[in-house]
Amino acid sequence: MPSQIIKSTNDDGIIAQKNYDVVKSDDVFRILIIGDSFTEGMYVAFEETYPKKLENMLNMVNPCRSFSKYEVINLGVGGYDIEYAAARVLSRGIKYNPDLVIWLLKDDDFIERAEINFDREERYIDVINNQLEGDVNKFDQYQRWISDFKYEKYLGGIVHGIVVKEQIEQESYISYYDKQSSASLRVVTALNAPIILATFRNTAPIFKARMKVWANTHKTITYFSDIPELQMGTHTFEPFDGHPNSAGHTVLAESIYRSVIGIGACSSLPSGRLA
Amino acid sequence: MKQYSLRVKILAMLIIGIECFVLLAGFGYVVVTLHQSRFAKASVSRINKNNVVMGTSANLKHFYEWGANQNIIYNAE
């Protein structure tokens, strides 16, 4: 892994090497990609991210005869969950009037709900600081707090990244947040563009089931769950970080490219938009 | 020993098959229900509903975005 990677945002706060015209020309097929740090391309250069690789593939093959140029706008931001990704669409995405939306979702987007976890993080950090009273030597006390957090299934577990799969797959926990997810879906579907909900083959079945339901209840949503599992060390950074490296982003780009072609995203378009 | 016709034998096998299916389905339903109820008890009590914000974007307290023309630096160390 390189020691330091620097990327820049454009005038609209989007990681990109240029500004995008709000009004696009008819020959441009515009794709909006939303998601978390995988989509943002944490730790990799702009050219290595899967949205950029996807854009390059589309421009090289030109699968849509109605268009001559493909733009992939990357709205991914590290730490986003479902709700924040939808909010990002509201704040930045709508005005770009995309022809297709791709939403990469994985287990933690369902589990680590940002609004709740940030509150908890702040609360626990305050608690720890109060307990330690600034004394770094109170290590034993700190360890006890950490231990206690582990028993707080959704609080300490998430704060410290210790999320046990058996816990997160509980139906009651997930269904509790369905209402929020529905609100988020309403925002994204309001774009009136086809949406590909993309996820990994090894995503937890309960989350796949949720995505299937969304696809079945929204005619503009296509569910795609054929992204291969990223192999630790081959497709991701070693040794402990699960973020994709350049090879991992290639896997993502190739898979999502297949999904775009698979749904015939543009072949049936006479004049630039799907019905 | 009484010999039954092929038709009767097939009918008997069908009935036995249906009975087995119904019994297995019933047993499976009980197992799944017990399993889910155990998990439900374990999870709901841990959630503080006061911390849950319903809706999207309007009241997001911690929502953040990159600023315009900002450098994003990833450090490997």
Residues B9-28: pLDDT tens digits?
A: 999 999 999 999 999 999 88
User: Whole domain around residue A198: which residue ranges?
Assistant: 28-112+175-262
- Residue A127 inside a domain? The answer is yes
Same domain, A104 and A220: yes
Residue stretches of chain A with pLDDT short of 50: 1-2, 146, 148-169, 268-275
- Asked if A114 reaches chain B (Cβ–Cβ under 8 Å), the answer is yes
Interface test with B, best of A119, A148, A167 (most B CBs within 10 A): A119
At A211, the amino acid letter reads: M
Place of tokens 């998430």: A158
8 Å CB contact of A13 and B61: no
Q: What is the DSSP letter of A94?
A: G
- Residue A63 inside a domain? The answer is yes
- Residue A167 inside a domain? The answer is no
Query: What pLDDT does A105 receive?
Result: 95
Burial A51-77 (b: 16+ CB within 10 A, else e): bbbbbebbeeeebbebbeebbbbbbbb
Same domain, A145 and A69: no
Q: How many domains does chain A have?
A: 2
Tell me how far apart the alpha carbons of residues B32 and A248 are, in angstroms, rounded to a whole number: 37
Distance from CA of A171 to the nearest CA of B (A): 7
Place of tokens 């799944």: B32
How many CA atoms does the CB half-sphere of B66 hold within 13 Å? 25
- Residue A81 inside a domain? The answer is yes
Query: What pLDDT does A76 receive?
Result: 95
Count CB-CB contacts under 10 A for residue A198.
26
Same domain, A101 and A193: yes
Place of tokens 């020309």: A25
Same domain, A106 and A184: yes
Model-level ipTM above the cut of 0.85: no
The DSSP bridge pattern shows strands B71-75 and A4-8 to be antiparallel
Query: What pLDDT does A187 receive?
Result: 82
Cβ atoms of A140 and A123 closer than 8 Å: no
Count CB-CB contacts under 10 A for residue B68.
13
Find which of A53-57, B33-37, B65-69 is predicted with most confidence, using mean pLDDT.
A53-57
Tell me how far apart the alpha carbons of residues A250 and A238 are, in angstroms, rounded to a whole number: 17
- Residue A32 inside a domain? The answer is yes
Same domain, A85 and A128: no
Same domain, A108 and A120: no
Would you state the structure tokens that stand for residue A124, as one six-digit string? Answer: 């626990």
> Which residues of A are less than 8 Å from B33 in CB distance?
none
Query: What pLDDT does A32 receive?
Result: 96
Could you tell me the CA-to-CA distances from B63 to A73, A87, A113, A244 in Å, in that order?
20, 8, 11, 24
pTM over 0.95? The answer is: no
Query: What pLDDT does A166 receive?
Result: 41
